[in-house]
Amino acid sequence: MEIEVEKIDLNLGKIVSAEIEIDYEKCKDPMNCGLKCLKACPLAMFACMPLDATPEHPPTMFKVVPMFRFLCNYCMRCVEVCPEKAISIK
């Protein structure tokens, strides 16, 4: 059996990342909801970053960031659990 290689397109080497937006006007303190989006994501795509940490003081303010967008499988669990409706995925 002969395969015509030029007709096969496997998209190898292409990493497609989800367009994930977080409205930080709505998500002002992710600790208030218990980081529901982080817990809901089966692929651990989000990270919680400290905004005000110093060597002398532990952080008191945080921001949820979609760190690993290429891992997103569009399950939409983060969108569904966000009580502020601050997450959108395209």
Question: Could you tell me the pTM of the whole model?
Answer: 0.78
Q: DSSP secondary structure string, the chain? A: ----GGG----TT------EEE-TTT-S-TTTTTSHHHHH-TT--EEEEESS--SSS----EEEEE--GGG-----HHHHH-TT--EEE-
Tell me what pLDDT residue 11 has. Answer: 56
pLDDT of res. 16: 74
**pLDDT given at position 17:** 87
User: For residue 13, what pLDDT is reported?
Assistant: 60
pLDDT means per 10 residues, the chain with 90 residues, are 46 75 96 96 95 91 94 96 97
Predicted pLDDT at 44: 95
What pLDDT score does 10 carry? 53
pLDDT for 78 equals: 97
